[in-house]
Amino acid sequence: MIEKYSNMKALKFFEELTKIPRCSGNEKEVSDWLVAFARERGLDVHQDKALNVIIKKAGTRGKENNPPVILQGHMDMVCVKEEGCEIDFSKDAIPIEVEGDWIVTKGTSLGADNGIAVAMILAILDDDSLEHPPIEALLTTDEEVGLLGATAVNGNLFAGRTLINLDSEEEGVFLTSCAGGVRNVLTLPVRWKSNKKKNAFEITINGLLGGHSGMEIHKGRANANRLMGRLLEEIGAGARIVRLEGGEKMNAIPSKARAVITMNGSPCDVVEKMQRIFSHEYRSSDPDILIECTETDLPEEALSSGTTEKIVALLQIIPDGVQRMSQEVEGLVETSTNLGVVRLGKRDVYFENAHRSSVESRKVLLIKQFEQLAILSGAGIIIQGNYPGWQHSPVSPIRELFMKTYKELTGKDAKLEAIHAGLECGILQEKLGEADMISLGPDMKDVHTPNERLSISSTERTYALLAEVLRRL
């Protein structure tokens, strides 16, 4: 489909990637596909136990002995879909379409984050007409669930000490530092009792924008899990929870939540009242909030009143959103946390949280706060995926080259920014030792949501910039 609109090889590779399952944790097929790509072209390739793939290509004539450059992106994607979408991410292709300048999909996330990086790197490796130094391509796994692939990378496999990360989402904005992060899961034991209430109701919260918990956390968008906590508190102590689920990914702001409760009366009047309150509070950030209340089958069991009260309390008091703004960079979030996923199981209810901070001590403070919250509530806590931030370097030859080349190609000045989202650069800096790094990418919108889209023209310009920088290195 894409080739009807562009002859650009990177976009064709991206279309191929949309046909291969690559949700975080399910990357074996795409990793093997990348290995096959390299072997078909006679390139040196290494696949490690974490399914990371390293592909090396010699420098072109006259540049064989130049210092190598590392091109880096991650192969996994955040897989989220709209209510009612029947896509099975474990086997189905993502149905992409073209709307004007944008590649979009219907009902699911697109995976442009970070599939377009992989696609651009493959296009570079596939094109023998390009002039470039030796290339070491690093394509990692499980970035979206804690940068786990990058953590497993063996830095001794690389000779390069210049790294170009292609996991950014705004053309002409070069990233020079990012926040570190960590994830935790609170596990609260639950107690079930026979149901003695007369009625059961399903309550759903939909229509929220959601978004990336790093890139969009400062926009004040509603968190469906937090709204559900407020709603259940308003319904009152007479209700008992039967089912509870909200959000899809720990690092995505949850856009929907669902609960089944049992009670003697009806909560629908309260639901209508809270619909008006939430619609007013989030009239700018989430104008399409929709809360629905429908009667459902009466269950045999429900959570005890004590367990229900604890869950409702935790939904409201677990820290969420921006915790502190940067003291040095105006408008930059320093520390945040996201209550991304809530799931009720038979034995426990799980509260999955993603923390980010550009100040290590503030990240540690968040962990301690959640540990104390676990003690007070009687919950367990699991800490996972702790990764470092990437600090800005005052001297960077690769940054200067990109700035100069961008200006010459476009006539515009590029911007240098730090971001609150996590990138693999911090981990790879530790793996490689002193390395000169930059992060860039084409225009993308609403990543980690079913509204995710990728600009075709911006991808073409970004690829041209990358190719020209490689020629000049």
Which residues are designated catalytic? 76, 143
d(CA 117, CA 123): 10
User: CB within 8 A of 368, min separation 6: which ones?
Assistant: none
Q: Which helix (H) or strand (E) holds 259?
A: strand 257-263
Residues paired with 171 in a beta bridge? none
Q: What is the DSSP string of 141-170?
A: S-GGGTSHHHHT--GGG----EEEE----S
d(CA 229, CA 427): 36
Place of tokens 């796994």: 141
Answer whether the bond into residue 338 is a cis peptide, omega within 30°: no
Name the token pair of 59. Answer: 């420098």
Name the token pair of 341. Answer: 């996923």
User: CB within 8 A of 269, min separation 6: which ones?
Assistant: none
Give the residue from 47, 58, 68, 78 showing the smallest Cα distance to 140: 47
If phi over 0 gives left and psi between -120 and 50 gives alpha, with beta otherwise, what is residue 182?
beta
Strand 380-387 and strand 135-140: pairing? unpaired
d(CA 74, CA 95): 21
